[in-house]
């Protein structure tokens, strides 16, 4: 059960290890773009390529869909970046249901673990395979867990790809152990206060009263998509690559300190320190380096981002 690209490498790894995947469950098709073209999820595209049957329920609690799941007679449900499953779904498979989560549980339970780990300037994260239960979200017994370093150069995109690649092997190992009856699991500690709630539109807007380091981590955690956004002169701009310093500018937060087309950067005052921006994206335009951006968008020192 999964939908986004993050779930594709784990699906392929299970398939290539010879595990009998009776079906893939994914989100319904969506119409996108001006022509309302029907688009499949990344998982559906791969499942069709591998000739695996695909189920796309509108409602996971639909009695007909529940019956369809029961008729599969599956030993195990494997969940990667999907919906929260109702207890009546979790109780169907003989050996339970496992989930691949992109954090070192119990830290960063919730819908956006990769984003929040970067927002908070974490130096380490990882992937966890755990049994789903009907208790608190992401609180089930852990089967396997592997860590990785978050480097200074990492952003959401690079960490997403790395954790998905790591996760495919961890998940396949866990599934194999469960099916062979040799898996060992252990309870999670419930003391962590680091959560990863779902992100909304307001979470993408830069708060210039925050420290430059905090804003920099927010940019990293939202790059390349959906991007941290701010506005100036009536234009909405996404920041995709930044650096920061802790040197006081003495200017109001959001004020442009320097703007250099030749060197390709914009330096902006924050609540403390300053943010140096080197890659941006205007609405409905391709992303570009700041040098190219400034060729067509004049930005004088003293201008203010809001």
5-180: CATH architecture: 3-Layer(aba) Sandwich (3.40)
Residue identified by tokens 């290539």 is 16
| Secondary structure class of 230 (helix, strand, coil) | strand
pLDDT, averaged across the chain: 95
Whether residue 22 has pLDDT greater than 80: yes
- Segments making up each domain of the chain, as ranges: 5-180, 201-296
Q: Which residues of 36-56 are buried (b: 16+ CB within 10 A; e: fewer)?
A: eeeebbbbbebbeeeebeeee
Rg (CA), the chain: 22
For 304, half-sphere exposure in the C-beta direction (CA atoms, 13 angstrom radius) is 7
Give the fold, CATH level 3, of 201-296: 3.10.25
At residue 241 the predicted structure's pLDDT band, cuts being 50, 70 and 90, is: very high
Chain segment 250-292, per-residue pLDDT in tens: 999 999 999 999 999 999 999 999 999 999 999 888 999 999 9
Chain segment 123-154, per-residue pLDDT in tens: 999 999 999 998 889 999 999 999 999 999 99
At residue 35 the predicted structure's pLDDT band, cuts being 50, 70 and 90, is: confident
pLDDT of residue 154: 97
User: Mind giving me the DSSP string for 157-189?
Assistant: HHHHHHHHHHHHHHHHHHHHHHHHT----BPPP
Q: What is the mean pLDDT of residues 144-170?
A: 97
Whether residue 302 has pLDDT greater than 90: yes
**What's the pTM value of the predicted model, to 2 decimals?**
0.94
Whether residue 32 has pLDDT greater than 80: no
Q: What is the mean pLDDT of residues 31-57?
A: 91
Q: What is the mean pLDDT of residues 189-205?
A: 91
| Secondary structure class of 1 (helix, strand, coil) | coil
Whether residue 161 has pLDDT greater than 80: yes
Neighbours of 152 (CB within 10 A): 7
């Amino acid at each position: 059960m999964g939908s986004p690209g993050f779930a594709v490498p784990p699906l392929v790894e299970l398939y290539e290890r010879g595990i009998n995947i009776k079906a893939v469950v994914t989100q319904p098709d969506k119409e996108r773009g001006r022509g309302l073209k029907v688009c499949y999820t990344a998982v559906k595209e791969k499942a069709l390529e591998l000739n695996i049957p695909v189920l796309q329920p509108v409602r996971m609690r639909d009695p007909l869909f529940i019956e369809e799941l029961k008729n599969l007679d599956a030993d195990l449900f494997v969940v990667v970046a999907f919906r929260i499953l109702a207890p009546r779904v979790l109780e169907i498979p003989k050996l339970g249901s496992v989930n691949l989560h992109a954090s070192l549980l119990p830290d960063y339970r919730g819908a956006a673990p990769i984003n929040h780990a970067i927002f908070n300037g974490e130096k380490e994260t990882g992937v966890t395979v755990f049994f789903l239960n009907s208790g608190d979200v992401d609180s089930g017994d852990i089967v396997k867990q592997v860590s990785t370093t978050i480097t200074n150069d990492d952003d959401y995109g690079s960490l997403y790809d790395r954790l998905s690649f790591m996760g495919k092997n961890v998940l396949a190992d866990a599934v194999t152990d469960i099916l062979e009856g040799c898996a060992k699991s252990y309870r999670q500690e419930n003391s962590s206060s680091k959560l990863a709630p779902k992100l909304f539109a307001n979470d993408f807007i830069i708060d210039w009263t925050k420290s430059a380091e905090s804003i920099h981590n927010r940019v990293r955690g939202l790059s390349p998509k959906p991007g941290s956004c701010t506005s100036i002169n009536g234009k909405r701009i996404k920041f995709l690559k930044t650096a920061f310093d802790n040197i006081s500018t003495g200017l109001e937060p959001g004020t442009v300190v320097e703007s250099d087309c030749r060197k390709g950067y914009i330096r902006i005052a924050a609540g403390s320190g300053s943010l140096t921006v080197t890659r941006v994206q205007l609405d409905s335009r391709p992303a570009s380096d700041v040098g190219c951006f400034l060729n067509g968008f004049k930005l004088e020192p003293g201008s203010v981002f809001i």
